[in-house]
Amino acid sequence: MVKYTCYNCGATVELDEIRETVRCPYCGGRILMKKRPEGGHHVKAR
């Protein structure tokens, strides 16, 4: 399950499969930001 956050309305959309055209079911926005899993910031070991 992949979660996306809509840039337009800020709704969280869960999708099983990623299609070429991903649209927000709430506002119809085409721009969805892929939500990162826990951990967020990637830290490189020094």
Specify which residues 13 forms β-bridges with. 4
Q: Going residue by residue from 1 to 30, which x/- string records binding to Zn ion, judged by CB under 5 A?
A: -----x-xx-x------------x-xx-x-
Q: Which is nearer to Zn ion, 18 or 27 (CB)?
A: 27
Put residue 22 in one of left, alpha, beta given phi > 0 → left and psi -120 to 50 → alpha.
beta
Q: Which is nearer to Zn ion, 23 or 45 (CB)?
A: 23
* The pair of three-digit structure tokens given for residue 29, joined into one six-digit string: 């926005």
Chain residues that interact with Zn ion, rule: CB under 5 A? 6, 8-9, 11, 24, 26-27, 29
